[in-house]
Amino acid sequence: MPSLTVKLQETTPTSYPILIKKGLLQDPKSWLPAEISLWVIITDTNVAEILALNLQKNLLKMGLKTLLLKVNPGERSKSQRNKSLLEQTMLQHDCDRKTGILALGGGVIGDLAGFIAATYMRGIAYIQLPTTLLAMVDSSVGGKTAINTKEGKNLIGAFWQPKAVIVDSSALETLPQKQLINGLFEALKMFLTHDSASFTWFHKNLTNILARNLQDLENLVYRALKIKTRVVAQDEKEQHERAVLNFGHTIGHALEKITNYRLLHGYAVGFGMLVEAKIALTLKLLTEQKFALIENALRPLGITSRKLAKFKAEEVIAATKFDKKKQSGQVFYVLLKDIGSVKEINGKYVHLVDDYTVNQVLLDLTKD
């Protein structure tokens, strides 16, 4: 039988800049690439009033064509319906392969706009402009894009790297306190899995961070992204170490699902880290002392066993069956073995934990 081999040359960019500085959104000329003919700003209705209209005005002053598209804020906007509507609007405005997308908003906007960029005309350029702390410290970097379905979160998506990530720390000045805390959980996840020194720094400086000390917030973002960029560079498609960044997310995504996404992602991950750290303790991977440190770090952010008790263990376990890390119906978890490190066996970073153990942990945490 005749056969042929396709030898592809690398065509996707292998690197992109991450800029962290106050005022970057006011100076798009300093970071916009010149080859884009039309910029589509995708944002939500809240950010549109605060930041998007001003950004559009600055682009127009530069002589650039723009199209401003808005969706409602919240996780439920990450839908196939919204993706199709936005794409249809872009087609109607003659957006082509030279069009670029500016994803201006939090994680929802970054995921949705990034997925549109990955599929529109088989892939166009986009830039992440995160405006929430959660997006700044995590979701804006790494190229994960996705939408949700009724079956679960982020089950349909693509890896599509942005051309740049522009972190304007002044966006945090208008962020509601609940959203600020929402982002802290993803930074804490980075520190718990990779960097004990940053965990200690986080605990020591939490008061200043919650008071929005700009220097500490920028330091927080830098510390988290330093971890994220290293992991992504080594494992872009999440075949190995990048899976560690799902710590807290098996339980977290389950909680989001059973609350129909009314529970904010970061808070869900916060509860997930509490439960999954307790699993590691139960499996004798983590000491009582280290678990207590994690509990103490989560408590000032509103994550306690008492609040976890409002979720039914059987519903949480049933919802974990939709997790992307499942294999043959079995659910896998990232397990801490210390603050700053996780269990790893022969390059495997997620591990099977049976439902009985998870159920016992949930009951133990909430029995008081």
Residue 71: phi, psi to the nearest 5?
Answer: -125, 170
**Alpha-carbon gap, residue 113 to 257, rounded angstroms:** 22
CB atoms within 10 A of CB 61: 10
| Assigned CATH topology for domain 18-174 | Rossmann fold (3.40.50)
**Alpha-carbon gap, residue 231 to 344, rounded angstroms:** 15
List the structure tokens of 367.
């029995």
**Alpha-carbon gap, residue 38 to 121, rounded angstroms:** 14
Q: What is the number of residues in the chain?
A: 368
User: Contact 148/78 with Cβ under 8 angstroms?
Assistant: yes
CATH code 1.20.1090.10 region(s) in the chain: 182-366
* 352: β partners: 332
- Tell me the mean pLDDT per 10 residues along the chain, length 368: 66 79 96 93 94 96 96 95 98 97 97 98 98 97 94 92 96 94 98 98 97 96 96 89 96 95 96 98 98 98 97 96 81 97 95 97 90
CB atoms within 10 A of CB 214: 13
Burial degree of 248 (CB within 10 A; 0-12, 13-18, 19+): buried
List the structure tokens of 41.
């700003």
H or E segment and range at residue 183: helix 177-194
User: Contact 233/225 with Cβ under 8 angstroms?
Assistant: no
User: Contact 42/15 with Cβ under 8 angstroms?
Assistant: no
Q: Sign of dihedral through CA atoms 282, 288, 294, 297?
A: positive
Rg (the chain; Cα; Å) = 21
Closest CA to 250 of 317, 337, 188: 317
CATH code 3.40.50.1970 region(s) in the chain: 18-174
DSSP conformation class of 227: H
List the structure tokens of 264.
């904010």
pLDDT of residue 3: 63
pLDDT of residue 13: 54
| Assigned CATH topology for domain 182-366 | Dehydroquinate synthase-like, alpha domain (1.20.1090)
- Catalytic positions are 122, 144, 186, 228, 238, 242, 246, 249, 253, 265
